[in-house]
Each structure stands twice: as C-alpha cells, then as structure tokens.
Amino acid sequence: MWSLFVIVLALVIVCTTHWVYRWKNPISNGKLPPGSMGLPIVGETLCLFTSQSSFDIHPFIKSRIKRVTFTPTVEHCSMATIIGLCIRVKLLRSLPSRFKAIMVKERIEERGRESLVHPVNSIAEPPNLLLIGYHVVPPNRSSPAALNRYGPVFKTNLARRPIVISTDPEFSHFIFQQEGNSVELYIWFLDYFKNLIEKKNLNIHKYVRNMVLDYFGTEKQKERLLMEMEEMARRNIGIWSKQASIEVKEVTTTMAFGLASKKLLSYDPNNHLENLKDMFTGFLQGLMAFPLNVPGTAYHKCLKDQGRAMKVLKDMVEERFNSPGSQHQDFLDVVIEEMKKDEPVFNVEGAAYLVFAILLASFETISLALTLAIKFISEHPVVLKELKNEHERILRCRQNVNSQITWNEYKSMTFTSHVIDETLRLGNIAPLIFRRATKDIQVGGYTIPSGWAIVVCPPAIHLNPEKYEDPLAFNPWRWEGQGSNTASKNFMPFGGGMRLCAGSEYTKLQISVVLHFLVTKYRWTNIKGGEIVQTLGIAFPNGLHIKVTENN
C-alpha cells in the first residue's frame, strides 16, 4: 500500500515538475526574448492589473524595460573579511568547471542581473571582487538599481497566453509591416470572427479596411460627414450648456455613439426596448478586467453584455437582409450587398461581429480622446488661448460667420491638429496593440513562435525621453513643422502598417469639430473631478465635471 502511494506521489511530483518546467521554458525553434512566464496558470497577469495615478508608462511595462548598469560601491574591509573572501575564492576555484558555471549562473539570476556574465575562472564569485584592503559591494537586492530588467522586447504570459511585448520602435514597425504575411490582428473577443468568414483564404482585415475607407473616405462622404458632425456638435453642446454641470466622458460617449450608430446601421434607441449603448458601455467596463468568467465578476458581465449586443445586431442584420429594396444609406447597406453576392464574404453572424467591432472602436476612442483633450486644455490656459485664436481667424475669414465648416477650413486647423496629436501621445488611448504570429518570426536575434501573441506598447514609445523632450508635459508646440503625424515609427496612436486604423481621420475630424464650437461659441469651467487612474487604460474614477456656458 505504502509502495503504491510512494509511486503515485513520485509520478505526481515528476509530472508537476515537468509541467512547471515547460511553463517557464516554452518550446521554441530559436532563442526566445528574455523575460519571465510567471506563475503556472496565472502567469504575470496579476502584475498587469496594478494601477497608478499618472500618464507615465504602466509599472508592469516600465519595470521590465529598464536597463540596469552595475555600479558597485567600494568599502573598506577588515583583514578578517579579506581572509573570508580568499577562502570563498579558493573553494569556488577548486570545484569542477561545470559546477562553477552552474553556481555562477544561479547566483547571477538570483541577483537579477543576467547581463553580468563573467568568466568563471577570472572572478571567484560575482559580483564580489577581491581588492587589496577593499572589496566591491554589489547593489542592495531590495534597491531598485539592483532589479533585473529585460530591455525593450521581452516575453511574458498573461491570461494563459504566451506573449512577446515590444516597446522598441524598430521592432514594432517590423511587426506591423509583416501583417498579412506572418502576423495577423489579434483581439480575443473577435477571435471567433475568423470562423464566420465564408472565404477562408481572404485577407479579411485588409478587405474590411477597404470597405470602411470606400464608405467613409470619398469626398462626398467627407463633406456629408462633416455636415452631420457639425449638426451633432451644435445640438449636443447646446444641451450641455443648459445643464448645471455635465460629466464629460458620459456626454461625449452618448454623442459619439449616437453618430457612429447612425452612420453604421441607422440605429434609433427609441425603436428598441434595450439600449445598445448601455450594452457596449458595460462590455467596455469589463473588457480589461481579470479574465475570470464567474458570475459576479466584471469579466462575466462583460461577456453577457457582449452577447446581448450581438443578439440585437444579428436581429438587425437579418431584418435588413430579408427586406429586399430597403435602403438606409448607411454602412450596413454596404455589408448587406456583400452578403447577397454569389460568393458572399459574410454570413449573418459574421456581419453582426463586423458591425460590433467597428462601432466599438469608433465611439470609445473619440469620447476618451475628447475627455482628455478638454482636461489638458483646461489645465493649460495658453493652449486654450492659441486654440481660440486659430478658430476665431477661421470665423473672420468667412463671409457669413454662422456658415458651416468647410473641408478646407478643417484642414487649416493646424494647431488643433497639434493639440489632438499631443492628446493622443500623452493620453495613449490605445495602450496595447495586439497581433499574433501565424508562423515563426525571426527578428532582432530572437524567435517569436507561431501562435504567440505580440503586443506593441505605444506608451513606451510615446513617452521615451530620447524621442520626446519632457515626455510627460503636455506641449502641442512640439508638433510644429512635423507635417502629418497620423503614423510613424515613433507615433502610433492608431496602430501601424496595413492595419493602420481606418477611422483615424474620422476621429480627428469629430474632435476638431467639437473643439471648434467649444472655443468659439462657448466657454467652460471645471467643477470637480479630473483625476485619472491608469491600469490597462485611462479612467476617470471621479469623472470630469464641467459647466458649459454660451458666450454672449
């Protein structure tokens, strides 16, 4: 009986040990980037959910990309210390080479400085160096200077997914350029979308991007969209001015969702029993929560809200598909036309997922960017003054002050564009950009295995002091003379490569229109709130409450 128990216990120990070893040492056809896979099952997920009250790089990322230089201190030591060191030198040098190598490696890893590789025969026990009457003291292990960091590219494991995280502009640019070749878009809640595509060999992301640009990118649509945005801004800001105060994130979400849902699928909340905006808002609140699908958790509610929203969208797609001749002049009409072709790209569920993804991206980005812009402008009166000067010049050049904004006027809003770029750089509304390797990728001396997620971290690039002077300062003038900054190796608020967000111009246009009316026809004062908390994104725990007043 005891023998059987011992055998079972031994098997359990062996299997567990092998499993833990495999977790910490993933199989790869080449050299993996440095890093840690964390604890079994949870990986380093818990570390990712730490928060801070600044716009600085997230602690999880910042603590792993710092390069540490060993700067020992020299202390006077007694003869007894010297004798002790000599004994340690003698003992280590007397060991076989393979044992010395193991001991040195373990000591280096324990100290957390893998970059300190000393020949085992030249140094007795790194990093203690024997001098005459003195010895070198390594940094305190509890000191931040002694912590090991992996550099700008490192591996980790988050939510049971092996991941390579890049904070390096060149590395990230290379990844973006591989889209459609060895890299694909990866967002967990849209992963199922690939299974709904009828043409399996189609580059769906490129196809969808072209659909969006064909609909929103024509000159006719630009002029029409500008007119609708202006009407939306006039109406909503007028409503804001009649209230004692407004919470900026809430009202801008309502405004942006209203326009996006109208352009995409002619959605009218008055014709539906359930509010689609509330479902999307609930989904977003749990999107970056700890992925524990248990009733009562934010993640569980997130999945439920996604399911409810998908049901509403599928019903709308089916109704439109089964109504021949029905035209609403919206994006869903374009999708329905694709579905009715001889070789359709989408089925009903795939079309619903497509609308879900575009609607989600369109309104949340705008509402958060607008809230951040108003916060930054409020805190920098000199920026507000320059904005007013620019937009008042536009009004003075008009024959009719109350005429509508033209496309040429929008393109002349140079400083406004700088304010938006600086808001996107400092606010980092997309803190992580996800991709996935479809085959092994060799880059920078490392191998990224097929199936691994690749996460590009724009904040680490946007807040790099080597690229941006005083990176945590809000300074729109830093963009003067740089032309269009929609995307570059050092500025990627909308991604990069062939997956550059098709809605980037849409976002900047809507923010510009709202700012135009706010600084020319209204003024605002801060009431309360404005403090931010950063976890996986920016949030306003106390909101941002302002009072909007119409100018006399």
- Rounded to the nearest 5°, which phi and psi values hold at 534? -115, 120
Q: Residue 125: its pLDDT value, please?
A: 39
**For the chain, what is the mean pLDDT?**
79
377 vs 445 pLDDT, higher one:
377
Contact between 312 and 279 (Cβ < 8 Å): yes
Local confidence band at 90 (pLDDT 50, 70, 90 cut-offs): very low
- pLDDT attached to residue 118: 37
pLDDT of residue 191: 57
Strand partners, 185: 435
Most confident of 30-39, 182-191, 472-481: 472-481
| Calpha distance 280→286 (Å, rounded) | 10
Mean pLDDT across the stretch 129-145? Answer: 41
How confident is residue 494, by pLDDT bands cut at 50, 70 and 90?
A: confident
Average pLDDT over residues 356-377: 91
32 or 482, greater pLDDT = 32
Contacts of 159 (CB under 8 A, 6+ apart): 43, 45, 291
Q: Return the number of other C-beta atoms located less than 10 Å from residue 522's C-beta.
A: 15
Q: pLDDT tier at 486 (50, 70, 90 boundaries)?
A: low
pLDDT at 531: 93
Task: Tell me which amino acid residue 534 is.
Answer: Q
What pLDDT was estimated at residue 159?
80
DSSP-based three-state secondary structure for 210 = helix
Confidence class of residue 105 from pLDDT cuts 50, 70 and 90? very low
pLDDT digits (tens, 9 = 90+) for 388-407: 999 999 999 988 888 889 98
Q: Which one of 13-17, 60-64, 102-106, 422-426 scores highest in mean pLDDT?
A: 422-426
Predicted confidence band of residue 102 (pLDDT cuts 50, 70, 90): very low
**Cβ atoms 504, 366 nearer than 8 A:** no
Q: What CATH fold (topology level) applies to the domain 157-550?
A: Cytochrome p450 (1.10.630)
The sign of the dihedral angle between the CA atoms of 7, 10, 16, 18 is negative
Strand 453-456 to strand 161-166: parallel, antiparallel, or no bridges (unpaired)? parallel
* Position 95 pLDDT exceeds 80: no
Question: pLDDT, tens digit, for every residue of 219-255?
Answer: 666 778 889 999 999 999 999 999 999 999 999 999 9
List the chain domain ranges: 73-146, 157-550
The percent of residues above 70 in pLDDT, for the chain, comes to 78
Give per-residue pLDDT as tens, 246-301: 999 999 999 999 999 998 888 887 776 578 888 888 888 777 777 777 888 888 88
pLDDT digits (tens, 9 = 90+) for 337-346: 888 888 787 8
The first and second tokens of residue 271, run together, are 């014709």
Q: Which of 119-128, 194-203, 326-335, 349-358 has the lowest mean pLDDT?
A: 119-128
Distance, in Å, from the CA atom of 548 to the CA atom of 525, rounded to the nearest integer, reads: 7
The CA distance from 321 to 506, in Å, is 27
Quick one: which H or E segment has residue 224?
helix 219-241
CA distance 107 to 159: 30
pLDDT score at 218: 62
Coil vs helix vs strand at 279: helix
Where is pLDDT greater, at 433 or 187?
433
Q: 85: which residues sit within 8 A by CB, 6+ positions away?
A: 124, 128, 130, 135
How confident is the model at residue 254, as a pLDDT? 92
Q: Structure tokens of 403?
A: 């005429």
Question: SS3 sequence, 506-540?
Answer: HHHHHHHHHHHHHHHCEEEEEEEECCCEECCCEEC
Q: Is the pLDDT at 74 greater than 50, yes or no?
A: no
CB 48 within 8 A of CB 158: yes
pLDDT digits (tens, 9 = 90+) for 419-465: 999 999 999 988 888 888 989 999 888 999 998 999 999 999 999 99
In this structure, what token pair is assigned to residue 530? 């404005």
Using pLDDT thresholds of 50, 70 and 90, give the confidence band for residue 194: low
Q: Is residue 347 predicted with pLDDT exceeding 60? A: yes
Least Cα distance to 493 among 403, 417, 390 occurs for: 417
Of residues 352 and 208, which shows the higher confidence score?
352
- Find, among 451, 455, 463, the residue nearest to 435 by Cα: 455
Compute the distance between CA of residue 206 and CA of residue 221 in angstroms, rounded to an integer.
21
- pTM for the predicted model, two decimal places: 0.80
Whether the per-residue pLDDT at 150 is higher than 70: the answer is yes
Binding-site residues, in ranges, read: 501
What pLDDT is stored for residue 392 in this prediction? 94
- Residues making up the annotated binding site for heme are 501
pLDDT tens, residue by residue, 498-551: 555 667 888 899 999 999 999 999 999 999 999 999 887 888 999 999 999 998
Token digits of residue 411? 């393109």
Question: How confident is the model at residue 220, as a pLDDT?
Answer: 64
Integer-rounded Cα radius of gyration of the chain: 28
Q: Measured between alpha carbons, how far is 379 from 473 in angstroms, rounded to an integer?
A: 11
Hunting for tokens 């608020």 — which residue is that?
Answer: 493
Q: Percent of the chain, pLDDT > 90?
A: 31
Q: How far apart are CA 268 and CA 228, in angstroms?
A: 16
Q: What's 491's DSSP letter?
A: B
What does the pLDDT average to over 32-57? 87
